[in-house]
Every structure is written in structure tokens, then in C-alpha cells.
Amino acid sequence: MKKTIWYITKYFSPKTASSPGGRGWFLVEEMSKLGCDTVVITSDSNNLVDVPELSRKVTEQTVSGVKIIWLKTLKYSVAKSITRILSWFHFEWNLFFLDKSGLPRPDAVIVSSLSLFTIINGLLLKRKYKCRLVFEVRDIWPLTIVEEGGFSKGNLFVRALSFLEKIGYKKSDVIVGTMPNLAEHVVAETGLSRPVFCIPMGVSDEHLSEAKELPDDYVSKYFSTPKFRVVHAGTIGITNALEVFFDAAALMQDHTDVQFLMIGDGALKVQYEATYGHLPNLVFAPKVSRDKVQSALAKSDLLYFSVYASKVWHYGQSLNKVIDYMLAGKPVIASYSGYPSMINEAECGVYVPAGDASALVAGIIEMKSRSAEERAEMGVRGRQWLLANRNYPKLAQDYMALLFDGSTR
């Protein structure tokens, strides 16, 4: 019998004319291809992706066989604001009162954070339809806002979120995380040793087919000089821990054959340019469109990402940036002190301690000392491992096995 899956999340990145979609989209699309009825229930208040302009409270859309139910929800522009929280409650209210009679009866409901409040609606749907409930954790809240947002554990809002998080861990049929070591966090929060499964970020056919070349003038301006390029590509913001990158550039000013290239835009770019723009070995380049990222990365020698030293990373990472880097077939160096995954599994790069610019310098020098052939082999290993282990058809099959295998409880 054909199975039906409801995927419920306030924040969903669909396939559009200008975007191939995000992880959630690729998973439900593949589940649809595998013969499931897939229904996404989401909101229009995600200001980071393209969403339709809604004129009604509920708008139904079908894209590539996936039914998407858009709920018109209070919007906000500042992430750390009361309006964002009110938007969460608004989504839950709309979800609760949504007329679901026209939707196919679910065999499994996936509740994907954020928001954690959706677990309440998920439990009500589980009871109503006698279906399986999956609690999917894409960002560990409230731990993230305690560790990185400056909130106290005693804050009433944090305590409320912690209560909801524990309910999700205890009452769901299946726990899924995008991070590989979430099970340790679940034990710490609940005292229960339950199976926890990792369905991480992956790579799609669109990642492979959409790649376009950079304009000639961009290449000549930022990639023409014969130097060893250490490149960070992506948002230049408060959560990206980029001070180490710039401090390493300052420490390596005498290495005239090494260039640090920062590709992207963000809230802190102007500040960083004012502070570090005088460095002769540091270049700021404009952001490139999604379909040209691979072209920029492929012209680099060593790709870099960083995080702050935070307990959040103790449970692992599944970052789009790492997917992009490994797909480019280039070696990676990361300022990262958390639970290792992907880069170490594929043997395509190295980790150095988060926050340690001297360790980053030593790592860069060591990677540069290797032959071009050895670095190329590292990059190829990363790409091959990614395509074999993180392709969305495989991840969707793994997910469906969890959804409909009664032994996972």
C-alpha cells in the first residue's frame, strides 16, 4: 500500500526558479519518486529563501509531485526578536486550525525543528491519525541560544524550550538529527538511551548540473595571480567565527606566495574590511551566485571554514558549506574542535583547534608543503566519498527505512 508522509516545518526551502531547494525539499522529492505521497506544511515567513507571496491564509501548491501547504504567518526581519517568537506561535495556531480533511491520511509525520513548538501539534496528529511521529533536529535548541546567543539556562523561555525538547525526545517514535552525535545529547537531556539516527545534509543532482563558470573579469581580478589561495566562501557574519582566518592572514604576511581570499557578503564585511583590509595578502571578493560557487571553489587551493568553540559542536556538524567544499574536489582545513565527521571520514582535509590562529597557520603551511598531486588526491577522495555517502536518493531511502520500520522505537 502506498505510504503517506507529512513533513512539517516552519522553515522550508522549496525548489524555485532561482533555487534548487534545501535539504528538506530534496528528501521529500526523493521520497515522492520512491512512491510515497508527500505533503509539506510550512510557512511563508522564512526570510532567507524564496517563498511565494501569499494572499490567503492557506495556499496549496504542487511541485514535482510534492504537495506544499503554505500557511500565511507573521513575518520578521530580525532573528533575535520577540516578533520571531510570535511568528512561531502564529504558525502553530494556523497549523492547529488547518483544515486537514482534504489531505491524504499520514502514515508518518515528520516534525522538523525549528520551531520546537511544532512537537505539540505533532503529538496531536500522532494521536488523531495513529501514525508514527518523527522528531527531526536540524539545530539543537535551546542549547544553541545558551551557548552562542547569550541566554541563561534559567531564562523562562529557555526552560520552556528545554521542556518541549525533552517531550520530543521522549514521545516521538523516531529521533533524527542532521548531526552525527545527537544521541549523546539526548541521553544527557533525558537520561534515556534511545536510538538516534543521522540523516545529514547531502548533495543533489541539481548541485551537479547547475554549475556555471565565473565571468572572465571576476577570474582575472581574483584568480589570475600565481599564488597558493586559502579561500573562505559564504556569509560573513557573527556566527562564522572568521576572526581566526584574518588573524592567520596577519601572521602570514611574510609568506608572499600565499593569499587569503574571502568570497562573500554579510553583516560584518565592512567591519572586517576596515580592520584587516590593509593586509597585503588578504583579498575581499564579491559574493557569487549559487550556480557559480563550484567554479570559484575549483580555482582555489585550500578551502576553509570555522566555528566558535561551543558545546553545540560536540554533537557534530552537517554544514552546507562542507558539502560545497567537498563537492569541489579540493582539500579542506577547518578551525573546528567538535565531533569530527565527513572530512576525517573521507580523509580530504584536516581539523585544527577552533579559535587558534597559530594552529591554523601551521596547518596551512603543512598543507602547502604537500605536493600538488597529493592535495589533488585528497580533494578527489572528498568528492568521491560525498557522492557515495551523501547523495539524496540514498539518504531518502535510509530515512524511509526509519519511518516504516517498527523496530526503531
Whether 87 and 52 have beta carbons less than 8 Å apart is answered as: no
pLDDT surpasses 50 at 408: no
What would the mean pLDDT of 75-99 be, rounded to a whole number? 92
Whether 191 and 260 have beta carbons less than 8 Å apart is answered as: no
pLDDT surpasses 80 at 207: no
Which residues, other chains included, contact 10 with Cβ-Cβ below 8 Å and sequence gap of 6+?
Answer: 42, 43, 45, 46, 73, 87, 88, 91, 114, 115, 118
Domains delineated in the chain: 4-202+391-408 (3.40.50.2000), 207-389 (3.40.50.2000)
Which one, of 349, 352, 371, 374, lies nearest residue 361 by Cα?
352
**pLDDT at site 407:** 45
The 3-state DSSP class for residue 309 equals coil
Beta bridge partners of 69: 41, 60
* Residue pLDDT, tens place only, 258-293: 999 999 999 899 999 999 999 999 999 999 988 899
The answer to which of 2-6, 79-83, 382-386 has the lowest mean pLDDT is 79-83
pTM above 0.85, yes or no: yes
Give the integer Cα–Cα distance in Å for 350 and 336. 9
The answer to which of 134-138, 289-293, 373-377 has the lowest mean pLDDT is 289-293
Residue 18 pLDDT class (50, 70, 90 cuts): low
Q: Which amino acid is at 182?
A: L
